[in-house]
Amino acid sequence: MKSILLLLCSLFIGTICFAAFPGWNASAEKYSEALKSAKNPNERALCRMMLRFRQEKMNYDQLCKAIDEICDEEFSSPAARDNAKHILKKQFAYCRGQFLSEALAFAEKNPSWYDYHLCMAIQGGNKVRVYKLLLATLERSSVNLIPAANQLKAVKRLAEIGYIEEISSVKEDFLRLKKKYDQLAANGDVAWKKVADEVDSTLKLLEK
């Protein structure tokens, strides 16, 4: 599972990554080399985060503190600094498949579009919490940040968790999603129609 996450992580939009970055499981030496070719605060912050993680034994709280310190030093813009702090704390957990439970707790207090990736990665426990966060992420996030294909996967995950965990609000939740996706599909966009159709199919199953 972790190897799959490492492979897929760089494919998602909005993540902090660059060509010279050696991946999420490299040595301290590799991150030190990549840091030399980093050209902007995002790239430097990413390399510095991974370098410190390799050099020091860290739990998630310590990692978050290190990310805060690094971003405070690298970013002059408050908005860019805060965004990098939030993304890196979630991206690390997602891309390494590590600290996922801790990152889930962080995301619940600091929601953003990136929570889609965390929710899709977390398996096993915490399913009800994943359901609530994923639902909120779909309802809140811009269509430009989470493409239709990914939202289709998320809708299927919601239906799966709702069924397994017997979540009482599933029908009400999907009725709200129906309004959103019916509007997105109204202009004839095939990708969004697939999402709307999936929501309709789930609602029909819930009525049986």
pLDDT at res. 159: 97
Radius of gyration of the chain (CA): 19
* Secondary structure (DSSP) of the chain: -HHHHHHHHTTSTT----TT---SS--HHHHHHHHHH--SHHHHHHHHHHHHHHHS---HHHHHHHHHHHHHHH--SHHHHHHHHHHHHHHHHHHHT-SHHHHHHHHHHS--TTHHHHHHH--SS-HHHHHHHHHHHHHHS-TTTS-HHHHHHHHHHHHHHHHHTT-TTHHHHHHHHHHHHHHHHTT--HHHHHHHHHHHHHHHHHT-
pLDDT digit of tens for each residue in the chain (208 aa)?
Answer: 444 444 334 333 345 557 789 999 999 999 999 999 999 999 999 999 999 999 998 999 999 999 999 999 999 999 999 999 999 999 999 999 999 999 999 999 999 999 999 999 998 888 999 999 999 999 998 888 899 999 999 999 999 999 999 999 999 999 999 999 999 999 899 999 999 999 999 999 998 7
185 in Cβ contact with 155 (< 8 Å): no
168 in Cβ contact with 128 (< 8 Å): no
pLDDT at res. 165: 95
Task: Kindly report the backbone phi and psi dihedral angles of residue 144, in degrees, each rounded to the nearest multiple of 5, phi listed first.
Answer: -75, -20
119 in Cβ contact with 157 (< 8 Å): yes
93 in Cβ contact with 120 (< 8 Å): no
pLDDT at res. 6: 40
pLDDT at res. 141: 87
pTM strictly above 0.85:
yes
